[in-house]
């Protein structure tokens, strides 16, 4: 029978999967709203900012906490973790572009559909990259995450966002 600490650690891979699912849901909701052309520029900017903040905090928590912890426990994951951190940098650049496009859509005097379409295209690309990244991350580090010693310094930042 697994120990209490072991149960908590095993749950970390499930928590990671759930956090990714929540981020998928949030970007899907934004994308659906754009597809229906419902949000005005300010609403779009607010939703995009909240999503960008949540995804950025999640990745920072991984980079600064979870990955460092995993590297101490499983140094053989260095190449995998370097690839994941590189993905985070690419995603951060796309998030900056989403923010810029959402700001432009909110401030534009032109027809709202034009700005929304640009944000939508960027979100489509981000969604595809996120999906690939999340699947790779879950596939490559879940076993190590489940076997790592408990560490409570980083899970809240990685798994919970407002």
Tens of pLDDT, residue by residue over 42-97, are 677 788 889 999 999 999 999 999 999 999 999 999 999 999 999 999 999 999 99
Indicate if the pLDDT at residue 3 is higher than 50.
no
Report the share of the chain in percent with pLDDT over 90. 55
pLDDT for position 152: 78
Helix axes 112-147, 4-35, angle to 10 degrees: 170
pLDDT digits 0-9 by tens, 15-41: 999 999 999 999 999 988 886 655 566
Q: Is residue 9 predicted with pLDDT exceeding 50?
A: no
97's tokens = 């572009």
The architecture CATH gives domain 7-159: Up-down Bundle (1.20)
The Cα 124–Cα 141 span in angstroms is 26
Dihedral angle over CA of 27, 29, 30, 35, nearest 10: 120
| H runs (alpha helix) in the chain | 4-35, 41-61, 67-73, 78-107, 112-147, 155-159
Q: How many Å apart are CA 154 and CA 152, to the nearest integer?
A: 6
Q: Determine the Cα–Cα distance for residues 26 and 40; give it in Å rounded to an integer.
A: 17
Considering the chain, what is the average pLDDT of its residues? 85
Q: Cα separations (Å) of 137 from 38, 69, 105, 142?
A: 33, 15, 33, 8
CA–CA dist 92, 89 (Å, integer)? 5
How many Cβ atoms from other residues are within 10 Å of residue 35's Cβ?
11
Q: pTM for the complete prediction?
A: 0.86
Q: Where are the domains of the chain?
A: 7-159
């Amino acid at each position: 029978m697994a120990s209490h600490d072991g149960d908590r650690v095993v749950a970390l891979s499930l928590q990671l999967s759930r956090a990714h699912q929540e981020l998928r849901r949030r970007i899907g909701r934004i994308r659906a709203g754009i597809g229906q052309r419902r949000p005005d520029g300010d609403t779009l900017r607010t939703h995009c900012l909240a999503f960008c903040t949540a995804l950025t905090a999640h990745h920072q928590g991984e980079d600064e906490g979870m990955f460092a912890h995993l590297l101490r426990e499983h140094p053989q994951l260095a190449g995998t973790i370097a690839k994941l951190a590189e993905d985070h940098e690419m995603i951060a650049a796309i998030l900056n572009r989403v923010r810029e496009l959402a700001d432009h859509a909110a401030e534009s005097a032109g027809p709202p559909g034009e700005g929304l379409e640009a944000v939508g295209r960027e979100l489509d690309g981000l969604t595809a990259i996120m999906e690939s990244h999340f699947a790779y991350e879950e596939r490559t580090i879940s076993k190590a995450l489940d076997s790592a010693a408990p560490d409570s310094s980083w899970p809240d930042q990685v798994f919970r966002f407002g």
